[in-house]
Amino acid sequence: MKKTIFLAAMCLVMATVTSCNQDRDMNESFDANPNMESVLSSKVSQEHNKKMIPICINKVNNAYDVLFDEETSVYTISDTEQNKKYVEIIDKAIENESSLSISINNNSITSAKVAHSSYPRRSYDCPEADYKGLKDFSNLGQIKNFASLLSKAGSYKRTPVQRNNGFTAYSWGIPNFEYRTDGCYARAHRMRQILKNYGYKCEKIWLFGNLRAKSGNKTIRWGWHVTIAVKLTNGYKMVIDPAFQDTPMSVKEWEDKCLNKSGMNYNERMPYKIASAFTTSSKSYLLHKVRGGRYTQSYDNCYEKTTATLNSYRHRRD
């Protein structure tokens, strides 16, 4: 009887030890890679989808740089047989000015498909002011004064905009020149409105490529950049871009700031421009179908997109 009890007790102890070892082994199997869940989550979060309208595609070595309208970053897609169909989709969307659903991983395009949504086309529901009544600048001192004025947030007052239907819209966005990463098109449009209210003409000046600018110690990469250019009565053009400085600069100086090569890392891509900077009418809000010096334009005569974009970036910093 005692022997039976002893054997039973021994079995119970062994079962308990075995159970504890199994529990420990199970715990060890989960603890062996405690960061696995976060690693997997990180890999998933790196790839995301965006709905965007491509405006330009440019072949560089073994890849294409793809530029989009309301997104100034540069996205790349490798020139592979697998990606050939995506390049064709992007090229067709540029021609049709249509929206695509783009899958992106660390600024690399992994897939592209038609988004089946139309672009909110050119807005004409606010009459455009007659530029015949506006003037160029008579001297450099005037341009310097306005470059300083446009760099200050307090210069951007709530401005009424008359609609065709008799109602009044209001433009009240304030450009944030401490957030240079995106939104240049809205900043330029609001600056243009302020100059127009003072009775002065301006143009938009554009540069496309793989651009590189410096903001303090931070490097900013753009696929394109736009600001305003003004003219003296003798025809000489000056650029006003408070994203860089509160004084006017020549077109060459502005281009150089958009193609800044200082402090480049050994593995950084060299900045380049597709073509020299060019100007358009100041009423152009965005450009599309940018190919070989040709382009189409979209507008924001009521400043609704301008205001929405400026407000969304108001409190951001580079």
Least confident segment among 117-121, 170-174, 186-190: 117-121
Domains and CATH numbers, the chain: 46-114 (2.40.50.340), 131-312 (3.10.620.30)
Residue 308, φ and ψ in degrees, nearest 5: -60, -45
Q: Roughly how many angstroms between the first and final C-alpha of the chain, as a whole number?
A: 83
Q: How confident is the model at residue 9 (pLDDT cuts 50, 70, 90)?
A: very low
Question: What's the angle, vertex CA 181, arms to CA 263 and CA 189, rounded to 5?
Answer: 130
149-184 tens-digit pLDDT: 999 999 999 999 988 888 888 999 999 999 999 999
Per-residue pLDDT, averaged over 113-133, amounts to 67
Summarize the confidence of residues 217-233 as an average pLDDT.
Answer: 95
Least confident segment among 7-21, 212-226, 235-249:
7-21
Q: Which of 18-22, 39-43, 241-245 has the highest mean pLDDT?
A: 241-245
pLDDT for res 47: 79
**Amino acid 8: pLDDT:** 41
Specify the 3-state DSSP secondary structure of 100: strand
pLDDT of residue 48: 85
pTM given for the model:
0.82
Q: Taking the CA of residue 104 as centre, how many other CA atoms within 13 Å lie in the half-sphere pointing to its CB?
A: 15
The answer on pLDDT for 27 being more than 80 is no
Q: How high is the mean pLDDT of the chain? A: 85
- Residue range 34-48: mean pLDDT, rounded: 48
% of the chain surpassing 90 pLDDT: 71
What pLDDT digit, counting tens, does each position of 256-280 carry?
Answer: 999 999 999 989 999 999 999 999 9
Token pair 């109602």 is at which residue? 167
| 40-54, 74-88, 93-107, 174-188: the lowest-pLDDT one | 40-54
> What are the backbone angles phi and psi of residue 122, rounded to the nearest 5°?
-50, 130
Write the DSSP string, 211-241.
EEEEETTEEEEEEEEEEEEEEBTTS-EEEE-
Spatial distance between the Cα atoms of 206 and 226, rounded to a whole number of angstroms: 5
What was the pLDDT predicted at 83? 96
What are the pLDDT digits (tens) for 288-304?
Answer: 999 988 999 999 999 99
